[in-house]
Structure 1
Amino acid sequence: QAEGARAEADRAVRASDAAASQARELRASLSARLEAAAERLAEITTQIRETARVEPEDLARSLADAAIAIPGDAGGMEAHLYNLERQRDAIGPVNLRAEEEAVEHAARLETMQAERLDLTGAIGKLRQGIDELNGEGRERLVAAFEVINEHFKALFESLFEGGVAELRLVESDDPLEAGLEIFACPPGKRMATMSLMSGGEQALTAAALIFAVFLANPAPICVLDEVDAPLDDANVDRFCNLLDEMRRRTQTRFIAITHNPVTMARMDRLFGVTMAERGVSQLVSVDLRQAEAMAAQ
């Protein structure tokens, strides 16, 4: 019996040794695997920090908040990380000044919108001012046109000793954009535009229009450059009579440049250029009223 008990004890010892040996081997294996896992965890941590530039704990919280499913195994995590890297690369380079630039652009946009409002207001005021000026211009133009037209009709009838003439605004209903046309009917002729009249008739008609403007808005001086050139003696006399009438009705001084002796004889003073000596010009002035008085004596 003692030997049997001893044998049973030996077997128990051997079984315990075998179990202890297996436990030591398992412990060594688990320690090795734990060390490998720790090393792998350190590599992944380093990779996360270098690649994602974030702490693993922060990344885990972000993924949890975003409710993104993360694979439990390492291979799945690597595949998932690879997919994330591809998505990141597809986005392109990151502008680190994007937020600052957004603020700058927002401020610039606000400034431009304020300037746009100012410009819109200025344009509105400018258009209003233009409309007011155009309205006033139309009124003044129409008023001046009516006054000049009445004077023109009277002067034309006086110059031609009859006949009818008038001014008309043509080609537009807007006085500011309309053209001016002269319609005249000398005695014994039909109403026609000025372009269909003879040279003498055109000269007298133009003189009537010029003097009509001077009656509506007199000027200190009026220079007439050979207006009487296309006129015969009878029409020159009518032209001079009109000059005398204009002198009585206005304070305008008329200077007539002419070679016509009839016109010269009707003037108050003559100015001319003579050459008393060869190559030497001399200005000559003659007061015809004084000359007539001296001749009468």
Structure 2
Amino acid sequence: REVELRLEQANHARQEAAAALGAVMERRRMLEDRLRVVRGELQSTVVRPVDPAHVMRLQVIEDQSVQALKVVRTHLGTLRDRQRALRREAGDAGARLATARTRLEELRNAAEIARQEISAVAVEIAELRVRGESVAEGLRRDADASVEEALEVPRPDVDEDLESLLASHEAELRRLGPVNPLAAQEYRDLQERYDFLAAQLDDLSSSRAELRKVIAALDERIVEEFTAAFQEVARYFEEYFGVLFPGGKGRLRLVDGSDPLTSGVEVEAMPLGKKVSRLSLLSGGERSLAALAFLFSVFRARPGPFYVLDEVEAALDDANLRRFLRLVDRFRERAQLLIVTHQQQTMEVADILYGVTLERGGSSQVLSRRIRERSQPA
């Protein structure tokens, strides 16, 4: 009975481990969704006013993906603990099952031996009684002796030995106590449940191995895609940084190249004539231009049909604004640019101007005017 209870507990632990496995698979699905979000962010075409916090949005999303992977690994550890506990329970159940099997076999053997010996003794006693009756009958016939006189004849020593042996075996049977006639069926049921539990444990081990393979493949895939995207963005960043800072040098660098998923990204910006390379040491306009170089690098690496820029040049002075417009003029051949602006210089380089006016009565009206013709208007 105790072995059955242990098996019940082990089966319950297996069900909990299966539930944990389902949770891990759900985490895997969430991680794949997060990967699609990262791709979507790379292909996003709507940009708000430049803010250093938004510049590194891609890296933040990657960090969130890494955190999701950590949650998956945590669930995998929980599943591993459940598996070890289930294995211990199965081992205990197996040991108890082996003990019960040995004890049952001993009882069977002892009972069988006792039955055989009792049967043999009973047969011998019956034979002796028949022989005694035959002897008494012969005495009455040959010696004219009565049955009582024949019974008074001393019995052979073998009778006492047989009775002593019979008493000994009867005492042994009493010592063994009652034998459960259902023990064999209970043993078969217990063996069947043990085999089922062992099969479930093997299935859980296989599922854990498959899950680890999926996580490893997903890690490798994320690293490959992130590395390829980062290298492409970094290459375009150097190009566009040169447009915004003629003669200057800029590059993107992973803090820890051995682990790109958890590594930070450093932006090195060195305008011409300056020895500083950290963004924090640049002026506000220079930081804005560096951020624009990064954003346009992302656009180039993951192009879209058009992009919306909302007053991204509002904080630029005339000199930096002219640099930005040079980048816009270079980029307009690749996609349409919709720029919300209050800068006159920006309006002058546009192909079409759209304006919104407030008329009498509180209604608004959209006005448009084509400035110049281009094969691909920006």
TM-score for both structures, normalised by structure 2 = 0.49
- What does 1:14-33 correspond to in 2, within 5 Å? none
Instruction: Decide which of 309, 315, 334 is 1:224's aligned counterpart.
Output: 309
Distance change (3 Å), C-alpha of 1:65 and 1:191: same
- What does 1:97-136 correspond to in 2, within 5 Å? 106-136=191-221
Measure the CA separation in 2 of the matches of 1:272 and 1:108.
79
Measure the CA separation in 2 of the matches of 1:219 and 1:201.
26
Instruction: Decide which of 260, 272, 280 is 1:195's aligned counterpart.
Output: 280
Distance change (3 Å), C-alpha of 1:246 and 1:109: farther
Tell me if the contact between 1:222 and 1:253 (Cα under 8 Å) persists in the aligned partners.
Answer: yes
Which residue in the other structure is 1:40 paired with? none
Instruction: Decide which of 218, 241, 248 is 1:163's aligned counterpart.
Output: 248
Asked if 1:63 is matched to 2:135, the reply is no
Distance change (3 Å), C-alpha of 1:112 and 1:202: farther
Counterpart of 2:249 in structure 1: which amino acid?
V
Which residue in the other structure is 2:123 paired with? none
Distance change (3 Å), C-alpha of 1:110 and 1:184: same
SS in 2 for 1:279: coil
Which residue in the other structure is 1:260 paired with? 343
RMSD: 3.1
Which residue in the other structure is 2:226 paired with? 141
Tell me if the contact between 1:172 and 1:179 (Cα under 8 Å) persists in the aligned partners.
Answer: no
Distance change (3 Å), C-alpha of 1:278 and 1:142: same
**What fraction of aligned residue pairs are identical, expressed as a percent?**
39
Query: How far 1:255 moved relative to its partner?
Result: 1.4
* Cα deviation 1:16-47 (Å, max 9, x = unaligned): xxxxxxxxxxxxxxxxxxxxxxxxxxxxxxxx
Measure the CA separation in 1 of the matches of 2:232 and 2:267.
15
Counterpart of 1:64 in structure 2: which amino acid?
E
- What does 1:29-40 correspond to in 2, within 5 Å? none
Instruction: Decide which of 180, 196, 202 is 2:265's aligned counterpart.
Output: 180
Could you tell which deviates more after superposition, 272-281 or 138-147? 138-147
**Structure number with larger C-alpha Rg:** 1
Distance change (3 Å), C-alpha of 1:159 and 1:117: same
Structure richer in strand, relative to its length: 1
Which residue in the other structure is 1:276 paired with? 359
SS in 2 for 1:174: coil
Which residue in the other structure is 2:368 paired with? 285
Query: How far 1:242 moved relative to its partner?
Result: 0.7
Measure the CA separation in 2 of the matches of 1:271 and 1:106.
82
Asked if 1:242 is matched to 2:327, the reply is yes
Measure the CA separation in 1 of the matches of 2:309 and 2:186.
72
TM-score for both structures, normalised by structure 1 = 0.61
Which residue in the other structure is 1:36 paired with? none
Q: Which is bigger in relative contact order (C-alpha 8 A, separation at least 6)?
A: 2
Tell me if the contact between 1:225 and 1:256 (Cα under 8 Å) persists in the aligned partners.
Answer: yes
Query: How far 1:191 moved relative to its partner?
Result: 3.2
Tell me if the contact between 2:244 and 2:324 (Cα under 8 Å) persists in the aligned partners.
Answer: yes
